[in-house]
Each structure stands twice: as C-alpha cells, then as structure tokens.
Amino acid sequence: MHALAAAGYALLGMLAWRAVSERPEARVGTAERIGLAVVVLVHGAAVQQSMLGDGNLRLGFALGVSAALWLGLIVFWIESLLVAIDGLRLWLMPLGTLSTLLPVLFPSGRVIAHADSGWLRVHLAISLAAYSLITIAALHALLMASTDRRLHELSGPGAAPQGGRAGVFARLFDAMPPLLMLERLLFRLIWIGFVLLTLAIISGIVISEALTGQALPFDHKTVFTLLSWLTFGLLLLGRQVWGWRGRIALRWTLAGFALLLLAYTGTRFVLEVILHR
C-alpha cells in the first residue's frame, strides 16, 4: 500500500511539473484534485495497515514520518480549496513520494505498550497531528526562505534571466503563491500545531500519571517536547507583541521543529536504523 501511494505521488508530481513547465500559473484541475484525494486515501490506508494491521499498535521513525506527511497533505488538500496555493504541490508531491517509500525501505518499528488504553490512542493521535502540522510548517518555512532569497536575487544588481538548472528552479518559484500569503498560511499552521502540541502534552501528563504514577518523566522526549512547545509559544507571542515576521519567524519555526524532531523521530532513526535496536 505504501509503494502504491508512492507511485501515485510520483505520477501526480510529474503531471504537475509538466503543467507548470507549459504554464507557470497553471491551477490544479478537477481530475488532478480527485487523483490527489485518491492517493491520500491509499496513503491513509497504508498508515492504518502498518500501525494496526497485526492487532497491535506499532510505530517507528519511518511510519511516523509517513503519518506526519499524510496528515500534512490532507491539510494542503483542504487549504487548496480555499486559497490559491496550487504551486506548493510541486514540492509536496516529491516529499509524499519519499515519505511513503520510507516504510518500504525501513519497515521495522516497535509495538507500543498499553495499546489497549483508549486514552493512549487519543494521545498518540493528537501527538501525530501536532507533529505533522509542525513538520509541514517547517517545510513551509524552508520554502519561504528559498522564495525570499530568490526575490532578493532578482532585485539585486546584475540580475539576469537564467537558463538550464537555474531556469528549472525559476519556474518552480514562479508557480509559488505570493510571499505574504505563504506567511499567513505558515502562522495558521503554527497556531493549529501549537494548540495540538499543548493538548498532546496535557494528555501525555494524564496518561503518564495513570500508567506510571509520574506526571512528567525526565527523559529526552519530555525535555525536547517542552523546549519545542516553549519555542513556538515565544514565536507566537513575538508575532502578536513585537510583530515578528520574515527571517526571524523562519528561524524560530525551524528551531522549534528541530527540537521536536529530536524528541522522537531523530531518536527512533538512530535506534532503529543505525543501532538496529
């Protein structure tokens, strides 16, 4: 199922690239939008099968990345109905392909203890949703940084039309929405992700207290998650009070994502792939 979803994302990516090569302002057609919905459904079925297919609750770094990108692509699909962000698919389709290939290449994972607890499943669902939105926000921030750099290059002295590989990237950026629209979407993602991360921390405290008698276990996951939550909280406060935007907001977004990455996926990658544990 993951391999089938990867093939679907790759096909949609090629179709999108061909359309933009002919007309950079090309919008997503109805057939392409329906095709993306079908591939996202297949991707969701693959995640469900991998997590719950054997009757246990299984999770690993590759499956976590796949689930995060799956939820992020759902957000993109819904947002694309409301805002003209069609150009983002040129970046998200390759990422969708890579995220669905990871569970094929690294199928290992671990069975989660106490999986029969309904509260634990709710906590994991909220945590994955928060992680996925913050992941998409971080990728969004990288795209904004690249777009901002290109705008400065075009407005700088000696700017000239570029060909070859530079021309390919020029067409990619020409298909992007305006920078201000990207910034509004970025902070919308961060706000929703921050709320979900807060709920994940609260539900995690309740679950930990019920299962271990300790509200906040002092481990790397707890420390990095709280640091990430504090980073995004300060970013949103800075946005409201001091009007933070542009490169300052991008740096804080990437810093918060890096901390959250260290809390789970980075650690699982080291344990499962490098140390084979």
Residue 159 belongs to a domain: no
- Residue 73 has a CB neighbour count (10 Å cut-off) of 25
Beta bridge partners of 110: 59
Q: Name the packing angle between helices 118-155 and 246-263 (round to 10°).
A: 150
pLDDT in tens, the chain (277 residues): 899 999 999 999 888 888 777 765 666 677 888 899 999 999 999 988 888 776 677 777 788 788 888 888 888 888 777 766 666 777 788 889 998 998 888 776 666 666 666 677 788 888 888 888 888 888 888 878 777 776 666 555 555 555 544 555 556 666 666 777 778 888 888 999 899 999 988 888 888 787 777 767 777 788 888 899 999 999 999 988 888 887 888 889 889 888 888 877 655 655 555 555 5
Question: Is the distance from CB of 127 to CB of 207 less than 8 angstroms?
Answer: no
Q: What is the pLDDT of residue 65?
A: 82
158 found inside a domain: no
Q: Report if residue 144 sits inside a domain.
A: yes
Q: What pLDDT is recorded for position 63?
A: 82
Number of domains in the chain: 1
What sections of the chain are H helices per DSSP?
2-22, 30-52, 61-82, 89-105, 118-155, 164-174, 179-212, 220-241, 246-263, 265-269
Q: Provide the residue range defining the domain that includes 252.
A: 2-152+165-274
Has residue 122 been placed in a domain?
yes
Residue 269 Cα distances to 78, 103, 264, 266, angstroms: 31, 12, 9, 5
Identify whether 160 is part of a domain. Answer: no
Give the angle subtended at the CA of 188 by the CAs of 232 and 35, to the nearest 5°.
Answer: 125
Q: Is residue 157 part of a domain?
A: no
pTM listed for this prediction: 0.75
Indicate whether 131 belongs to any domain.
yes
The verdict on residue 252 lying in a domain is yes
The pLDDT score that the predictor gives to residue 223 is 84
- The pLDDT of residue 164 is 47
Residue 103 Cα distances to 41, 51, 63, 114, 238, angstroms: 17, 11, 6, 23, 38
Measure the CA–CA gap between 109 and 112, rounded to whole angstroms.
9
